[in-house]
Amino acid sequence: MDVISLIVGFVVGIIAVSIAIELSWKKEEVVETCKIAKRWSISEISNPMIVAEKLKMNVPRNAKVVVKVETAFSKGAKVNPDAYGNFILGSNKALIFSGEIREGQLALRTVDGRILRKLRELFNEFWEGKEEEAAPEKSHRKGTVTVRGLAKAVVPYRENYLIRLSYDKGLIGVLIDEKMELEGRKIEVEGEMVGDERPFIKAYHIEILE
């Protein structure tokens, strides 16, 4: 009889624990990170970073703005013909628009960290892409140049690879023979300027600084 009671008690305990777990799951609230916004205001986002194919509204003076084409509202904005999308990005929130940025336009309000990171990457790409590519300083070696900067990416280029290098005068490509894990690293490049319409550096030597 004691053994039977023990077994029954054990089974009842398992059932009770299962019910408790199920109830706790039901009580957990699903965090909503994205929501359709019929009403929104640019003032809800501090220090906004804006990408707009066409900007059709006034923006705060402290906003950083990249546009695909100029409009009457884009005075002072950077123009990048390669820019796409329409969004207003802050530190912890973004508004993504279904069309051009204007009053009354339907938007998606999001606080999702992954989406914010991707939008920040896009903004930085469009913002930096507008910078003119200036020629690096000439090296002490005849016919060569030397430049220090941050390797933004390493991508395939024909039969070689190209480093997208950001430095104090803008952006420039660095041609290398083999793929190197340099993304996010500060490097010094010594090489030869090649190309006419879009010049880049054919690297002789690369030194990792950080």
Rounded Cα distance between 86 and 124, Å, is 14
Residue whose tokens read 């500060």: 186
Q: How many CB atoms lie within 10 A of CB 124?
A: 14
145-208 topology per CATH: OB fold (Dihydrolipoamide Acetyltransferase, E2P) (2.40.50)
The domain locations on the chain are 34-129, 145-208
pLDDT at 48: 93
Beta bridge partners of 109: 35, 95
H or E segment at 46? none
pLDDT at 52: 93
Q: What is the pLDDT along the chain (210 residues), one digit of tens a residue?
A: 555 555 445 444 545 555 555 655 555 455 678 888 889 999 999 889 999 998 999 999 889 999 988 888 988 898 888 888 999 999 899 999 988 999 989 999 999 888 999 999 989 988 887 444 444 555 444 457 888 889 988 888 888 898 988 888 788 889 888 888 888 889 999 888 887 666 788 888 888 887
The candidate with the shortest Cα–Cα distance to 136, out of 147, 127, 120, 150, is: 147
pLDDT at 19: 56
pLDDT at 18: 59
Rounded Cα distance between 122 and 86, Å, is 11
Virtual CA dihedral for 110, 116, 118, 119, nearest 10 degrees? 80
15: phi > 0 → left, psi -120 to 50 → alpha, else beta; which? alpha
Cβ–Cβ < 8 Å for 116, 92: yes
pLDDT at 74: 87
